[in-house]
Amino acid sequence: METHPLDTISAPASIGFVGASSNPANMGTMQLLNLRYSGYPGKVWPVHPRDKEIFGLPAYARIADLPEAPEMFMLVVPTRLIPEMVADFARLGTRRGVIVSAGFKETGASGADLEARLAEIARREGVRFLGPNCMGLINTRYPLNLTAAPFKGDCGGLSLVSQSGTYIIQTLEYLRARGIGLNKAYSVGNETTLDLVDCLEYLGRDPDTRAIGMYIECIRRPRRFLEVARRIHKPIVAQYVGGTAAGARSGASHTGALAGPDHVYDGLLAQAGVIRVESIEAVYQVGHTLASQPVPRGRRMAVLTNSGGPGTAMASRLDAGGLEVPEFSEALQAQLRAHLPGHASVRNPVDLTFHTDMTQLAETLPRILMEADEVDGLLIHGIMDTGWAEMTFPVFERFFGATLDDMRKMLNVDVGTLVKLPAATGKPLLVCSFFGREDHVLCTFHDHGIPTFDSPEKAAAAMTLLWRWAQIKKAKRPAAEPAPLPETVAGQVAALGTAVDEFEAKRILAACGIPTAHEQRVDTVDEAVAAARQIGFPVAVKGCSAQVAHKTEVGLVHLGLSDADAVAAAARAVQAGMPGIRLLVSEMLDSRREVIAGVSRPPGFPACVLFGLGGVMAEALEDRAVRLAPLDRGDALEMMDALRGRRVLGPWRGMPAVDREALADLLVRLGQLATALPQVKEIDLNPILFVDGRPKVADALFVV
C-alpha cells in the first residue's frame, strides 16, 4: 500500500521542533511539554537561536545544525519565518510536518499571498503538512500529542478531524469525563497541503479507527470527499456549520473557508453516507456510540428504567426516530415478572418504579432482555451507586450515624456481567444517568466502552443514529462515474451559443433520453392552430424566447385551450405582448401532481442535481433534495425518499403511484448531461408532470 503523508505525521520517529523555549507560557513550549508528557517514544530536537537547552533537551541554533534530518517538523514561530523554514527543512530532507502559526489567508490578501508562497515552496519540494493555523494532532496509541493540552483520557475507537483547533484540544477533559475514548485527532487549519479529505482517506484505512467524527466549515474538494467517503465502510458523523450567512462569514475569518449553502452540504453528506448532526456534542457522543457498539439487527428496542418519565421520553424519541418499542410477548413478560413486584410494568418499557434493588436493574433484567430474540437493542436509565450514596449521605449521617464509606459499600452495584452483554449478544447497550464520574458504576461503564448520556432523549437519539448507520452500511456503494452522452448532444449545445429557448432545451433533453411534452415551435397564429390540431386538444400556447426566463409573469403562457378559436386568441395575445416572438404549442398534461428538477453549480462545487416537489407552494416549502452529479440510480431513489412530502409520489387522490424507476432514470440522465456539458451553468425543469405515473418535462430553462 502506498505510504500516506499522515503515516509519518501520525507516528514520526523524530521531530525537529521550532518554537519552544524555556518560557512555559509560550504556546510552542506548551506543545513541546505535552509531547514529552504523552510518552512520545521518538527523538525530539528543539531549534532555538539562543537557548542551548530546553527543559532537558539539547537545543540547536539553526535547522541546518540538526544532527540528522528529522522525519517531521513542528513550527510554532512568527508567520513571516514559515516559508523559509519549510524550505530549510526540505533541504535537510524533511518533507512532513505541522505548522501551528496563524496569520495566513484567514487574515486577508497579504496573508493569502504569504500562504501562496508557502504552498509553492511545498509543491516544489514535495512537502506535505497539517496547517498552517492549526492546533496539532493526537495519536493516543503511538503515543503522540502535539497540541497545547495534555491528554489524560483512554484510548478508544473514535478519531476526529476538525477545522477548529478548539474542538481538538479544549474538549479533551470533556471527552474523558464522559468516557469517550479517543484514537486520533487532527486539527487541519487552513489545509494548504493536507485537508479534511486527506485525513478522511487516511482514517478510512487506519485499523484502530472504528468511527470518524468531523467538524466542517468547508469542504474544498467535494467530489473527492464524496468518492473517499463512499469507499469507507466505517461510520462517519459530522457537523457542518457554514450554511448560514453568519456561519460562512465566521468560517472565512477563521480558516479562510469558502462555505456553501446548507442544503447543498446536506445533500453531499447524505450522498456520501455521512451522518449529519447539529452539535459538536453529538459528534463526540454519537461517534463514540458508533465506535463502541454493535449495530442493531432490527428496529425492536427494549427500554428498562426505574422511573416512568425517562422511560417514556426514551420510548417516544425512539418511536419518532423510526425505531420500535413493541409490547413484549407473553412469554417474555412472564419471565420478567418473576423477578419484579406486582406494581412494576413489564410490557416495554420495563418500569421498576419505586423498586430500589439495583441488582434487578443492573444484572438480572438486562441479561433477560439482551438475550431475548424479540429485542434488538437495550436502553437503560437509573443505574447508580456511589453517586447516589454521596448525594444522600448527609441524611444518613445525621439520623443513623453512617459513614460515607458504609454508604458506598451498601449501594455498590456490580455491572461486570452487564458490560459484557453487547459483545456476547451482538446487540447495542446505551445507558442514561444524571450522575457523572463521582458515580462508581458510571465509571465502570466508561472503562468498558458503554456509552452513557445525561438525558434520555440523547440516548434514544444515539440509538436511532446507530440504526441509521446500519442502513447506510447496507447501501454503501462507490460514487457514480460520468457516462458519455450521445455525440449529437454536445454539438447541439455548441451550435446554440449562449441563448437557448425552451424548445431547443427540450430537444437537448430528449436527445439525452429525458421525456418531454409533445410540442411544436411555430411562427404564426395559423401555424399554431394547425399544430394544436395535430397534437390534439387541449393544448398550451406559450411564447418561446431565450431572452425570457419566466414567461408566466409576463403573460406569455396560456393553458387548457380546448379549440382552434382559443388557440388563435392565445397566440395573438402572446405576440401582441411581445411582437415577433415565436410560439410553442404543447400538449396539456395532468398538473395535479408536480415535481421539479434542476442543475446548479454552487461556488466551489461541481454540478449539483436538485429534485423537489413543485406547485405554487414549492418555493415556500423548500422541500427538496440535492446530490452531486453524476448520480447513480440509488442516489436518485434516495432523493425521492429524502422529501418530507414523499407520500405524494405514491398513490394520491385517485392518481397512480409515480413510476419511481422512470423518475430515477430522468434524474440520472440529467446528472449525466450536467457533468458532460460544463458550459451549461443552470438547468431548470419546472414543472415535471406525469402521464399514467411516468414523468414528462413540461417546461425547461437552460442557462449556458
Neighbouring C-alpha atoms within 13 Å toward the C-beta of 553: 3
How many Å apart are CA 128 and CA 132, to the nearest integer? Answer: 11
Rg, Å, the chain Cα set: 32
Residue 523 has pLDDT above 90, yes or no: yes
Give me the pLDDT at residue 488, please: 76
115 φ/ψ angles, rounded to the nearest 5 degrees: -70, -35
- 123 domain-assigned: yes
How many Å apart are CA 550 and CA 1, to the nearest integer? Answer: 55
Q: What is the DSSP string of 517-584?
A: --EEEESSHHHHHHHHHHH-SSEEEEEE-TT-S--GGGT-EEEEE-SHHHHHHHHHHHHHHSTT-EEE
Q: Which helix (H) or strand (E) holds 491?
A: helix 487-496
Residue 597 has pLDDT above 90, yes or no: yes
Q: Are residues 319 and 287 in the same domain?
A: no
Overall average pLDDT of the 351-370 stretch = 87
**Residues sharing a CB contact under 8 Å with residue 424, sequence separation 6 or more, in sequence order:** 370
**Residues sharing a CB contact under 8 Å with residue 249, sequence separation 6 or more, in sequence order:** none
Q: Are residues 445 and 545 in the same domain?
A: no
**Residues sharing a CB contact under 8 Å with residue 40, sequence separation 6 or more, in sequence order:** 15, 142, 143, 144, 145
How many Å apart are CA 687 and CA 588, to the nearest integer? Answer: 12
Task: Please say whether the beta carbons of 160 and 185 come within 8 A.
Answer: yes
- 124 domain-assigned: yes
Residue 112 has pLDDT above 90, yes or no: yes
Task: Using pLDDT thresholds of 50, 70 and 90, give the confidence band for residue 547.
Answer: confident
Overall average pLDDT of the 447-461 stretch = 97
Residue 315 has pLDDT above 70, yes or no: yes
Q: Are residues 331 and 469 in the same domain?
A: yes
Please name which of 383, 387, 381, 353 lies closest in space to residue 457, comparing C-alpha atoms. 381
DSSP code of residue 88: H
Task: Using pLDDT thresholds of 50, 70 and 90, give the confidence band for residue 407.
Answer: low
* pLDDT tens figures, 217-255: 999 999 999 999 999 999 999 999 976 555 554 444 444
Q: Are residues 601 and 674 in the same domain?
A: yes
Residue 679 has pLDDT above 90, yes or no: no
Q: Is 33 in a helix, a strand, or coil?
A: helix
What burial class does residue 363 get, using C-beta atoms within 10 Å of its C-beta: 0-12 exposed, 13-18 middle, 19+ buried?
middle
Number of separate helices (H) and strands (E) present in the chain: 27, 29
Residue 480 has pLDDT above 60, yes or no: yes
In single-letter form, the type of residue at position 567 comes to V
Overall average pLDDT of the 264-269 stretch = 97
Overall average pLDDT of the 117-139 stretch = 97
CATH code: domain of residue 530: 3.30.1490.20
Q: Are residues 551 and 601 in the same domain?
A: no
Angle among Cα 639, 264, 616 to the nearest 5 degrees reads 65
- 488 domain-assigned: no
**Mean of the per-residue pLDDT values for the chain?**
92
- 489 domain-assigned: no
Q: Are residues 168 and 62 in the same domain?
A: no
Q: Are residues 572 and 625 in the same domain?
A: no
Task: Using pLDDT thresholds of 50, 70 and 90, give the confidence band for residue 400.
Answer: confident
What is the percentage of the chain residues whose pLDDT exceeds 90?
81
Overall average pLDDT of the 629-658 stretch = 94
Overall average pLDDT of the 199-203 stretch = 98
Task: Please say whether the beta carbons of 186 and 137 come within 8 A.
Answer: yes
Residue 256 has pLDDT above 60, yes or no: no
CATH code: domain of residue 161: 3.40.50.261
Number of folded domains that form the chain: 5
Angle among Cα 247, 253, 259 to the nearest 5 degrees reads 45
- 482 domain-assigned: no
Q: Are residues 385 and 410 in the same domain?
A: yes
Burial 278-313 (b: 16+ CB within 10 A, else e): eebebbbbbbbbbbbbebbeebbbbbbbbbeebbbb
Overall average pLDDT of the 443-447 stretch = 94
Residue 187 has pLDDT above 70, yes or no: yes
Give me the pLDDT at residue 546, please: 87
* pLDDT tens figures, 554-595: 889 999 999 999 999 999 999 998 999 999 999 999 888 999
**Three cell numbers at 156?**
478508544
Q: Looking at the DSSP assignment, which residues form a beta bridge with residue 74? A: 17, 98
- 509 domain-assigned: no
**161 is in which domain, residue-wise?**
152-292
419 φ/ψ angles, rounded to the nearest 5 degrees: -70, -15
**Three cell numbers at 300?**
425492536
Distances (CA, A) of 529 to 501, 525, 587: 21, 6, 13
- 140 domain-assigned: no
CB atoms within 10 A of CB 255: 25
Give me the pLDDT at residue 553, please: 77
In single-letter form, the type of residue at position 373 comes to D
Give me the pLDDT at residue 259, please: 62
Give me the pLDDT at residue 200, please: 98
CATH code: domain of residue 35: 3.40.50.720
* pLDDT tens figures, 317-353: 999 999 999 999 999 999 999 998 777 899 999 998 7
How many Å apart are CA 309 and CA 317, to the nearest integer? Answer: 12
Q: Given 292, 311, 327, which residue is the final one in a domain?
A: 292
Task: Using pLDDT thresholds of 50, 70 and 90, give the confidence band for residue 258.
Answer: low
- 512 domain-assigned: no
Q: Are residues 325 and 470 in the same domain?
A: yes
Q: Given 475, 504, 531, which residue is the final one in a domain?
A: 475
Overall average pLDDT of the 541-553 stretch = 85
Q: Given 292, 325, 360, which residue is the final one in a domain?
A: 292
How many Å apart are CA 172 and CA 180, to the nearest integer? Answer: 9
Give me the pLDDT at residue 244, please: 59
CATH code: domain of residue 683: 3.30.470.20
Overall average pLDDT of the 194-220 stretch = 97
CB atoms within 10 A of CB 42: 15
Q: Are residues 426 and 305 in the same domain?
A: yes
Overall average pLDDT of the 601-625 stretch = 87
* pLDDT tens figures, 34-56: 999 999 999 999 999 999 999 99
How many Å apart are CA 249 and CA 213, to the nearest integer? Answer: 23
Q: Are residues 325 and 401 in the same domain?
A: yes
Q: Are residues 90 and 210 in the same domain?
A: no
In single-letter form, the type of residue at position 83 comes to P
